[in-house]
Amino acid sequence: MPENIVAIIGRPNVGKSTLFNRLVGTREAIVYDTPGVTRDRKYGQADWSGKIFTLIDTGGYVPRSEDVFEKAIREQAQIAIEEADSIVFVVDGLEGLTPFDKEIAHILRKSKKPVHVIVNKIDSAKLELNQSEFYELGLGDPISLSALGGRKIGDFLDILVDDFHDEGEAQAPETRLRIAIIGRPNVGKSSLVNALLGKKRQVVTEIPGTTRDPADSILKYQGKELIIVDTAGLRKRRQVIESIEFYSTIRTLKSIDRCDVAVVLVDAKVGVDKQDIQIIESTLERHRSCVIAVNKWDLVEKDTNTARKYELAIQALLGMYDFIPVVFISALTNQRITKVIDTAIEVDKEQNRRIETSLLNETILPEIERNPPKSSSPKEIKIKFASQVKTDPPMFVFFCNEPKLVQEAYRRFLDNKLREHFGFSGVPFTIVFKKK
């Protein structure tokens, strides 16, 4: 089910990043008592009462400023407003209502999105009266809290998740395989979709980010219907270049949530870069299976070992994600483009595969005996039994006497051994330890 996207908006230095860190449970966003520290957005996943949502931390929104950074921040915040399902508008409860707050409220009212006004820095009941002046914004009941101290965060989250859309309950589940074509702007996503469909379904130009919205297309392949999702790049807007990567990232997250298998398209001439790695990590963190397609392979000078060397180089960069299959294609010349679909179908079969309990234990318990888990306490960890409890994506439960003592390194060891014996190419899976 697609996750809800929540954007945190507000003028500089009202505590947006502090709230982001509080909700995500990390300190990913830089927090410092200086306006404008957050120039880029941070993305994170939060979970409340079983409802998972994507949180976007934006920079301080300064309407009509001519400062180059503030203009870029404003543009990115506007895109976040457009793409979000709901908006958290943070104001400063100690400083009070400002003209900037009123201008931002006017913009948010025009968005017609659900808006929650958060009066931050209300650290005690004595300060509760400070929220009353924010009724003037005309955006409903203000919610007072302290992002730094955590005061009334739970009350706010109850309200936030209550109006999340809950898609799919009244609809029959989609049985056709959904394949999302994702990647950095201008790597050839639309060209690949066009080549697969055999028609100009998507507009293709040399300008990064031509695609406006994710578009579902039906591909009839070997007697079956598949759904191809082409990820949008930057919307054609009045404003420009600063936000191509930002807009692309939001749309990529949405497309990942809507797919069964993601095909991450990489430019053969550029190679795998930091943004490609981030896209792959986002895919796997969202428990979606993955294929890497190296596009524009026709432009690379080759000898007999070029593809293998390139694949090994990609796997070295991927590190712990080296289980993702790699295919080499050219959307321009149609070279091996059906290999992308064949590989995605195989990966989907893998993520729906269930290992029999007897085979799993016969295979994995001897590996555990040869390499037992180390313990940081005097207690010995004994793993007695393993079982696969679900598919799509797979989850394996290992029953042991001291599940809390099992270290992350040993989880990775079991991950590697499961892949070594059973494959699961391109498939993220979960390992859980439970008390026997």
Give the type of residue at 89. F
Orientation angle between helical segments 68-83 and 99-111, nearest 10 degrees: 40
Cα distance between residue 39 and residue 185, in whole Å: 21
Which residue do the tokens 């404008």 mark? 36
If you average pLDDT over every residue of the chain, what do you get? 82
Q: Are 117 and 140 in contact (CB under 8 A)?
A: yes
pLDDT the model gives residue 35: 42
Q: What is the mean pLDDT of residues 396-404?
A: 92
Dihedral angle sign, alpha carbons of residues 285, 291, 292, 296 = negative
The per-residue pLDDT for range 273-297, each reduced to its tens digit, is 888 888 898 899 889 999 999 999 9
Tokens matching residue 370: 């040869």
Nearby residues of 404 by Cβ (< 8 Å), 6 or more positions away:
433
Task: Tell me the C-alpha distance between 153 and 359, whole Å.
Answer: 47
Q: In 10 A of CB 371, how many CB atoms? A: 12
Taking the C-alpha atoms of residue 232 and residue 85, their distance in angstroms, rounded to an integer, is 17
CA distances from 341 to 218, 331, 336 (A): 13, 13, 10
The residue type found at 76 is Q
Q: In the predicted model, is pLDDT for residue 30 greater than 60?
A: no
d(CA 220, CA 252): 24
Residue 394 has pLDDT above 80, yes or no: yes
- Chain mean position to CA 219: 25
- Alpha helices by DSSP H, listed for 112-234, are 153-162, 189-197
304-339 pLDDT, tens digit per residue, is 788 888 889 888 888 888 999 999 999 989 999 999
pTM across the whole model: 0.67
pLDDT one-digit tens code per residue, 238-255: 433 445 556 667 777 878
383-390 and 395-400 beta bridge pairing: antiparallel
pLDDT of residue 90: 95
Question: Which tokens go with 140?
Answer: 């409903």
User: Is the CATH number 1.20.1250.20 carried by domain 357-435?
Assistant: no
CATH superfamily, region 4-162: P-loop containing nucleotide triphosphate hydrolases (3.40.50.300)
- Whose CA is closest to 354, among 422, 425, 270? 422
Element (H, E) at 44: strand 42-48
Q: In what order do the strands lie in the sheet with 383-390?
A: 383-390, 395-400, 430-435
pLDDT at position 158 is: 92
Q: Calculate the CA 285 to chain-centre distance.
A: 7
E-strand stretches of 255-394: 261-267, 289-295, 326-328, 383-390
Integer Cα distance of 315 and 308 in angstroms: 11
125-171 tens-digit pLDDT: 899 999 999 999 999 999 999 999 999 999 999 999 887 865 444 44
Q: Are 164 and 51 in contact (CB under 8 A)?
A: yes
**Residue recorded with tokens 């799509």:** 392
Q: What's the token pair of residue 119?
A: 């009066």
Confidence (pLDDT) at 237: 38
CATH 3.30.300.20 domain range(s) in the chain: 357-435
Pick the CATH number of 178-350 from 3.30.365.10, 3.40.605.10, 3.40.50.1970, 3.40.50.300: 3.40.50.300
φ, ψ for residue 392, nearest 5 deg:
50, 65
List pLDDT tens digits, range 85-95: 899 999 999 99
In the chain, ranges of CATH 3.40.50.300 domains? 4-162, 178-350
